[in-house]
Copies of this chain bind each other. A is one copy, B any other.
Amino acid sequence: MSNTLLGKEEFVARLRAEGQRRYHDQHPFHELMHAGGLSREQLAAWTLNRFYYQTRIPIKDAIILSKTEDAAFRRIWIERVRDHDGRDENGKDGGLELWLRLAEAVGLERAEVASLGSVLPGVRFACDAYVTLCRESPLVVAVASSLTEMFAPDLMSKRIAAWEQHYPWVGAEALAYFRSRVPRARRDGEFGLAFVVTHAGSRELQDQCVAALVRKAEILWHLVDCVASATGGPTAPSPVTPSAPP
């Protein structure tokens, strides 16, 4: 393994390549979702379980906030927490609330989803691993784990179109969360990438950043795979490939 600092372009290319090839848009359950082949039960199971992931986001982002001395960074990053928790008194405009509305639209009981009581164990382990990764990593590595956002806008746009076409019974209004994420994920992904490129100042840190993004992609992938496995959908093992090229 080389100790040479990667140039900016090579580092970015490596992040993109390692993240992209593991991104969960390629999981066959997601492919089936986008082709309109999921049952209502499968869609509901995905929505319920993914909500556990959603609830981890403000927690891991608060951990990231606590890792820096830089108030300017915090002023930007804190918006992520507010995106999900909401900005008004009751959080009606927050991502968590929008997701619960989506859950109701796919036929779930809001209270059951919010209780997190029916989350699959494997989903819980994977999402908790995300929080732990952020807690135990240096700031720049924790930020790197968020870089799956680079690939999120395309997936979200695809998902909105697919749900409107194939699952019209959900209702377009219920897709507000996905819509909100397109510009936000783009904004966040760009900020995160610029930060990682600037602050991963050694090859060791660059490699840790790539590894964190790989781990994060595995977390998202495993979440979908657990839902697929529990609902008779198409499963696929996480692609285990060397994260550091020779």
Which residues from chain A sit less than 8 Å from chain B, CB to CB? Answer: 55, 58-60, 62-63, 65-66, 68-69, 71-72, 74-75, 78, 81-82, 84-87, 89-91, 94, 96
Contacts and interface: CB of A to CB of B under 8 A. Distances in A.
A71 B59 contact: no
Contacts of A68: 59
**6 closest Cβ pairs, A-B complex:** A62-B66, A62-B65, A71-B85, A63-B66, A74-B85, A75-B85
A166 to B, nearest CB: 31
Contacts of A85: 71, 74-75, 78
Interface centre among A58, A60, A75, A87 (most CB of B within 10 A): A75
Contacts of A89: 75
The residue in A55, A68, A78 that gathers the most chain B C-beta atoms within 10 A of its C-beta is A78
Chief secondary structure at chain A's binding surface = helix
Copies of this chain assembled into the complex: 2
B81 A78 contact: yes
Given A58-B65, A63-B63, 13 more contacts: A58-B74, A59-B69, A62-B62, A62-B74, A65-B65, A65-B81, A71-B91, A71-B94, A71-B96, A74-B81, A75-B86, A78-B78, A78-B81
A62 B81 CA distance: 10
10 contacts: A58-B74, A59-B69, A62-B65, A62-B74, A63-B66, A65-B65, A75-B86, A75-B87, A75-B89, A75-B91
Given A62-B62, A74-B62, A91-B75, A55 B81 contact: no
Nearest to A64: B62
A74 to B, nearest CB: 5
Contacts of A55: 69
Contacts of A72: 90-91
A94 B63 CA distance: 21
